[in-house]
Amino acid sequence: MKKKILLVEDEKALCLLYEEELSREGYDITAVTDAETALAKLVKTAFDLIITDIRMPGKNGIELITQIMGMRKDIPIIINSAYQSYKEDFMTWAADAYVVKSASLDELKAKIKELLGD
Amino acid sequence: MSELRKDLVSGRWVIIATERSKRPDDFRPPVPAAPAAEAVGFCPFCEGNEGKTPPEVFSLRTTGTAPDSPGWTVRVVPNKFPALTPGPPSPRAAQGVFQSMEGRGVHEVVIENPNHAFELSDLPVGHIRDVLRVFQLRIRGIEQDLHYQYVQIFKNKGKEAGASLSHPHSQIVATPIIPKRVKEEIYGADRLFRTFKECAFCRILREEEAAGTRLIAKNEHFTAFAPYASRFPFEMAIYPRRHSAFFTDVREDELETLAETLKHVLTRLKDTVGDPPFNLVLHQAPNPSLSLKGWPDIHLKSHWHVEIIPILTKVAGFEWGTGFYINPVPPETAAQFLRQP
């Protein structure tokens, strides 16, 4: 069965790109553009992994992952941000990996495989 | 009229703005800000969340408990997303006139206690001593690798001081070069040693103890005072009364007294200006295992000490442009309030 990934990314163009690239890798991708929708999806679906941006309108990615910790501590989370500076926030430790956005998704794909044990 | 004062070792000037002089109550925050971790109910440093940190490099824990599980009292973990990564640094590469090197180094977090709500000053003296002992052990461990020329221990308390998490913690960063500010302190101490024929810090200590106007606390092993050229309101320094360049040389009985001193001054700071954010910085000599060319007698000239900088004012354009600082609370006034029980 396909592994389910929840992608939280406010830029719709990036959502489409990630969906296309990661679906090609054999994952079932659910893309949402804000944290509140992500939390609602998490209640209904047992995702295997979450990828989240940090800077988003409304609740930011760090607030989202810390809230997820109150629901499910075991779900692997990858922070995918364009900014290195958020690494200084120790609340990012709630995530399992921090991948800086890049034109290539190779690092992100490798991290997904590592965390899902593929 | 305001007064210009010069810091003896660094040569830095400050403006003590007496006409802007403020009282401790002027700095009390109206309402303490709610820390993010409490708001969301999760903290990666809390007991039970060990799985969210990288494997511990050291811990003090109850006998029979396994690493990376509950049962610890002080825990040291590498930074999960470090700015510097361990390993030997590559030779410096030049791009035209610009130099660079790989970001090698050590970055560890010392989680001071398992309880999110207990600040360092809330802990029993014995526990604070344990935290200090862990600092010593980690410095010794890191300094065995000669690639690390300087080990910096520091604590950021409160958001305005740079802490992203309110769970009490300190940080250890080891760098493959001796930082510029550390070198400036060594150069200053070296210059003054030639003038005074003794350690400049020992001289400062003797004069502060004799004057008494800036003293905050004094015991058998340590003296806490508001430095003569304090840059910030309620800035404090703790000097060991026994000359020593390296924090790792502090004896067990001295560690206990240092813990008492820290608890006392941090509690006094809290009582005086209402639990302000602060930075605590340990100053010490570089890795003693290095061949410190040019500083063969650094152990005579350098003098480890603790600096505590409450964040009560903002550093702005004038400070960045000139290196001058404007302090609206004379250190004599600060010491007077901090001394009062």
Structure tokens, B206: 């003797």
ipTM score assigned to the predicted complex: 0.86
- Minimum Cα–Cα distance from A79: chain B residue: B81
Decide if B243 is catalytic: no
Within an 8 Å CB–CB cutoff, is residue B164 touching chain A? yes
Q: Which of B127, B167, B169, B264 is catalytic?
A: B169
CA proximity to B319, closest of B5, B12, B2, B10: B12
Apex B334 CA angle, B329 and B339, nearest 5: 170
Is the CA virtual torsion B53, B56, B59, B64 positive or negative?
Answer: positive
Q: Which residue shows structure tokens 């029993």?
A: B124
Q: Number of folded domains in chain A?
A: 1
Do residues B56 and B76 touch, judged by C-beta distance below 8 A?
yes
CB pair distance less than 8 Å for A70 and B37: no
Instruction: In whole angstroms, give the CA distance from residue A16 to residue B206.
Output: 69
Torsion of Cα atoms, B173 then B178 then B182 then B183, to 10°: 180
Q: What is the mean pLDDT of residues A88-104?
A: 93
Whether A115 maps to a domain, the answer reads no
Within an 8 Å CB–CB cutoff, is residue A85 touching chain B? no
Looking up residue A87, the CATH number of its domain turns out to be: 3.40.50.2300
Instruction: In whole angstroms, give the CA distance from residue A27 to residue B264.
Output: 57
CB pair distance less than 8 Å for A93 and B37: no
CB pair distance less than 8 Å for B164 and A70: no
Query: pLDDT tens track of chain B, all 341 residues?
Result: 899 999 999 999 999 987 666 777 777 765 554 445 555 578 999 999 999 999 999 999 999 999 999 999 999 999 999 989 898 887 777 788 888 888 899 999 999 999 999 999 999 999 999 999 999 999 999 999 989 999 999 999 998 998 888 899 999 999 999 999 999 999 999 999 999 999 999 999 999 999 999 999 999 999 999 999 999 999 999 999 999 999 999 999 999 999 999 999 999 999 999 999 999 999 999 998 887 777 788 999 999 999 999 999 888 898 899 989 999 999 999 999 999 87
Within an 8 Å CB–CB cutoff, is residue B170 touching chain A? no
Nearest CA distance, A109 vs chain B (angstrom): 18
Within an 8 Å CB–CB cutoff, is residue B165 touching chain A? yes
Whether A40 maps to a domain, the answer reads yes
Do residues B228 and B116 touch, judged by C-beta distance below 8 A?
no
Whether A33 maps to a domain, the answer reads yes
Q: In the beta sheet, which residues pair with residue B86?
A: none
Do residues A42 and A49 touch, judged by C-beta distance below 8 A?
no
Q: Residues 103 to 142 of B: which have CB under 8 A from any A CB? A: 109
Whether A53 maps to a domain, the answer reads yes
The whole-number pLDDT of residue B20 equals 63
Whether A60 maps to a domain, the answer reads yes
Whether A11 maps to a domain, the answer reads yes
Q: How far is CA B155 from the centre of its chain?
A: 6
> For residue A40, what are the domain limits?
4-73+83-99
The whole-number pLDDT of residue A53 equals 96
Whether A12 maps to a domain, the answer reads yes
Within an 8 Å CB–CB cutoff, is residue A37 touching chain B? no
Whether A109 maps to a domain, the answer reads no
